[in-house]
């Protein structure tokens, strides 16, 4: 097994990281924009660059909060936030920039990039950056959030916008089919209800995005590790995928049969299309991210939010979303101290307090969640309860596989083929084979950074 370590942040490491980004499929978009333009003036004022990849309500909220931070630190710290066109585009630019060492001090990365960022050798764990405050900050996170972003006892990045999968129920459709929302707790309950909706109303009972994140969520809800050992959150990197787990294959066999009989609708990956189907009443139940709550709310229909089905109360859903990373490559103490101040701000009530109300994402800290509950409506309370009550285990930490970006692309292809009528067992056997190759390639690159 491969033990975790903190490789040196030398220029050779940076170049190896850039090569690994390309090898794992993270470098697939042309870089955009210019240099970082970071500076420290003679009077000690620091300007640091922050690259981010969220848009819409979350992007607007982030720009507002950066402006508030800059106002509060006028003359001392300026964070120059620049949208890079999405997570993949941000990583493409990172790959191009680290070869010269001209990288930003701050970067937002999605959940899929967490293991890679940790292994890269170019980041400073935020717990170390914050010194004596690091442990306190980590302890203030909600257990399920800390469970995802802490590896081997170290908090590597600051959770920024957190999400979890939930169910959205069209109450009118469920009433017409005679389905009681209170009885939807397990996969048997929900899949049976979807078939009832289809039989009684002729509508599809269920839909969810044809996106690989859902394969990971189905594993967590089934109390199964998606990668091993231990989903990669202990002191050993994950080096294998569990796509051929018998219990998961049984679930996918059932889903495939439901695609075939029309009780499960394949609506692709478009969030607008999925929410539109729920709003129009052409589907009764939608599995979607809590981050999509704002879009559902804007549809102004009678919808109930409910936790995802799970095999028992000992498991639940893994968090998603994104987090803030500090890149130490070529950075002096002044820039790192400035970065630490912004990290503290992102984890504070000033940032996290209005995340749910404004964006639909979930707060990362217990303090912010408690404050949000005071003004939350019934559906938002379900989101908060789901986040607070999900047990923190290796299963609900989600898969931290360094090659996850490449693996997710293969899983997404497999899911689309299953929805089109192909065999789940054949498709996931192919995924498993490709994952073994991807992991071997990734491990070879990581080992090179440690020499």
If 0-12 CB within 10 Å is exposed, 13-18 middle and 19+ buried, where does residue 332 land?
A: exposed
Are 178 and 310 in the same domain?
yes
Please, what is the average pLDDT of the chain?
89
Helices of type H across 32-170 = 56-72, 87-97, 114-120, 126-129, 134-140, 143-149
Of 346, 370, 389, the domain-final residue: 389
Whether residue 36 lies inside any domain: the answer is: no
Whether residue 46 lies inside any domain: the answer is: yes
Whether residue 19 lies inside any domain: the answer is: no
The pLDDT > 90 percentage for the chain reads 73
Tally Cβ neighbours within 10 Å of residue 425: 16
Q: What six digits make up the tokens of 133?
A: 């405050």
**Total domains present in the chain:** 2
3-state secondary structure 282-326: CEEEEEEEHHHHHHHHHCCCCEEEEECCCCCCCCCCCCEEEEEEE
Average pLDDT rounded to a whole number, residues 1-6: 42
Cα–Cα distance for residue pair 415/312, rounded to 1 Å? 25
Phi, psi of 124 (to 5 degrees): -105, 120
Q: How far is CA 64 from CA 59, 76, 110, 212, in A?
A: 9, 19, 20, 32
The pLDDT > 70 percentage for the chain reads 91
Average pLDDT rounded to a whole number, residues 42-56: 89
Q: Which residue range(s) make up the domain with 236?
A: 165-319+400-440
Are 291 and 169 in the same domain?
yes
Block residue for tokens 């090898």: 23
Query: pLDDT digit string (tens) for 54-81?
Result: 998 899 999 999 999 999 999 999 999 9
3-state secondary structure 169-203: EEHHHHHHHCCCHHHCCCHHHHHHHHHHHHHHHCC
Are 294 and 342 in the same domain?
no
Whether residue 16 lies inside any domain: the answer is: no
Q: What six digits make up the tokens of 280?
A: 């129009």
Are 253 and 327 in the same domain?
no
Is there a contact between 107 and 54 (Cβ–Cβ < 8 Å)? no
Block residue for tokens 């640091």: 48
pLDDT score for 119: 85
Instruction: Give 172's contacts (C-beta < 8 A, 6+ positions apart).
Output: 281, 301, 302
Are 412 and 297 in the same domain?
yes
Are 47 and 155 in the same domain?
yes
Are 175 and 221 in the same domain?
yes
If 0-12 CB within 10 Å is exposed, 13-18 middle and 19+ buried, where does residue 74 land?
A: exposed
Give which of 218, 237, 212 is closest to 227, Cα–Cα: 237
**Residue 90: pLDDT band by 50, 70, 90 thresholds?**
confident
Query: pLDDT digit string (tens) for 264-317?
Result: 999 998 888 999 999 999 999 999 999 888 889 888 899 999 999 999 999 999
Query: pLDDT digit string (tens) for 136-162?
Result: 999 999 999 999 999 889 999 999 999
- Indicate which CATH number applies to the domain containing 239: 3.40.190.10
Tally of residues, the chain? 451
DSSP-derived secondary structure letter, 365: B
């Amino acid at each position: 097994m491969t033990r975790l370590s903190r490789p040196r942040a030398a220029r050779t490491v940076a170049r190896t990281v850039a090569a690994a980004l390309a090898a794992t499929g993270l470098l697939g978009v042309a870089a955009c924009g210019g240099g970082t333009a970071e500076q420290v003036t003679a009077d000690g004022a620091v300007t640091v660059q922050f690259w981010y990849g969220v848009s819409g309500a979350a992007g607007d909220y982030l720009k507002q909060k950066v402006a508030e931070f800059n106002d509060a630190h006028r003359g001392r710290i300026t964070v120059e936030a620049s949208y890079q066109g999405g997570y993949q585009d941000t990583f493409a630019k990172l790959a191009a920039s680290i070869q010269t060492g001209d990288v930003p001090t701050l970067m937002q990365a999605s959940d899929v990039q967490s293991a890679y960022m940790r292994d890269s050798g170019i980041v400073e764990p935020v717990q170390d950056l914050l010194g004596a405050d690091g442990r306190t900050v980590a302890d203030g996170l909600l257990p399920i959030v800390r469970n995802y972003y802490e590896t081997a006892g170290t908090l590597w990045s600051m959770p920024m916008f957190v999400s979890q999968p939930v169910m959205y129920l069209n109450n009118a459709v469920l009433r017409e089919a005679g389905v009681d929302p209170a009885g939807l707790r397990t996969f048997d309950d929900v899949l049976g209800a979807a078939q009832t909706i289809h039989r009684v109303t002729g509508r599809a009972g269920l839909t969810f995005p044809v996106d690989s994140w859902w394969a990971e969520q189905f594993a967590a809800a089934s109390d199964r590790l998606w990668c091993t050992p231990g989903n990669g959150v202990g002191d050993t990197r994950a080096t294998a995928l569990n796509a051929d787990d018998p219990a998961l294959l049984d679930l996918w066999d059932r889903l495939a049969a439901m695609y075939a009989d029309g009780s499960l609708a394949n609506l692709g990956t478009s969030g607008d299309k999925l929410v539109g189907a729920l709003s129009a009443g052409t589907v009764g139940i939608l599995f979607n991210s809590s981050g999509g709550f704002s879009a559902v709310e804007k549809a102004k229909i009678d919808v109930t939010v409910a936790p995802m089905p799970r095999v028992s109360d000992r498991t639940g859903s893994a968090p998603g979303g994104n987090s803030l990373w500090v890149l130490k490559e070529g950075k002096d103490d002044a820039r790192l101290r400035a970065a630490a101040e912004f990290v503290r701000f992102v984890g504070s009530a000033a940032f996290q307090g209005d995340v749910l109300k404004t964006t639909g994402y979930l707060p990362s800290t217990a303090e912010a969640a408690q404050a949000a509950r005071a003004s939350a409506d019934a559906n938002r309370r379900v989101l908060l309860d789901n986040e607070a009550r999900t047990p923190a285990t290796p299963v609900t930490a989600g898969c931290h596989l360094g090659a996850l970006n490449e693996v997710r692309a293969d899983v997404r292809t497999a899911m689309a083929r299953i929805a089109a009528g192909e065999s789940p067992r054949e498709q996931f056997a192919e995924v498993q084979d490709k994952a073994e190759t991807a992991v071997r390639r990734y491990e070879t690159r990581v080992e090179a950074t440690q020499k």
